[in-house]
A and B are shown apart, each in its own frame.
Chain A
């Protein structure tokens, strides 16, 4: 069964740090790009960061750039999100999501979507 399981969430004070983990199983982890997506309480989904299968390319939303670091360990089938200098507005449920892509011949573009999601881990930043 294809599965993603996040862990590492918790309560942290403003300015503090936290490291989230996402354990993957049931698929060849190294063959897929991965994403972190978050959802603040009562709000919509927000893409946070992406990493390619070989870690060659990494991207961040402007809201977290310079504070968060995405990484992966393909030997351990694990994805990570190191969160530093946390702010109250980082309070959210954090999901990891598998990124699947294919080439669309008609448009000449790569179709990209998130087809597997974890259940999420909750991060609360509060004093």
Chain B
């Protein structure tokens, strides 16, 4: 299967740690990248590769992978982290890209 599965919604208390997961068979072969999208805005890249953050992304964002599951962890979630998060990777052909369905993160 080339699908990526994410939980539709996750919540976290302010300052606590939250993990957002992404499952898919192709994650055993290819790394996931993670994107944050706030309402009315374009997505931005937050994690890519093994565990890399683009310039300007706070170090409370981290990534990991095990088997068919990729994870995005926010350590000490802030109110401004409330957003939709999408994972992305390649399909079985290696040439097409596929997104997970997205996880809506609520910071309580």
- A111 near B31 (CB under 8 angstroms)? yes
Q: In terms of DSSP, what is the predominant structure of the interface of chain A?
A: strand
Contacts of B96 in A (CB 8 A): 47, 50, 59, 61
Interface contacts (Cβ under 8 Å), in number, total: 69
Give bound CA distance, A109 to B35, whole Å.
21
Q: Which of A68-76, A82-90, A115-123 contacts B (4 or more CB under 8 A)?
A: A115-123
Interface size of B by Cβ–Cβ distance < 8 Å?
26
Q: A50-B97, A109-B31, A113-B33 are in contact. Are A45 and B86 (CB under 8 A)?
A: yes
Give bound CA distance, A25 to B92, whole Å.
33
Query: Which residues of B in the span 19-70 have a Cβ within 8 Å of any Cβ on A?
Result: 29-31, 33, 35, 37, 42-45, 48-50, 54
Measured CB to CB, the residues of A under 8 A from B are 35, 37, 44-47, 50, 57, 59, 61, 95, 102, 104, 106-107, 109, 111-115, 117-120
Measured CB to CB, the residues of B under 8 A from A are 29-31, 33, 35, 37, 42-45, 48-50, 54, 84, 86, 88, 90, 95-102
Q: List 25 A-B contacts (CB under 8 A).
A: A37-B43, A44-B84, A44-B86, A44-B101, A45-B99, A45-B102, A47-B96, A50-B95, A50-B96, A57-B95, A59-B96, A104-B50, A109-B29, A111-B48, A111-B50, A112-B33, A112-B90, A112-B97, A113-B33, A113-B49, A114-B43, A114-B88, A117-B45, A119-B42, A120-B42
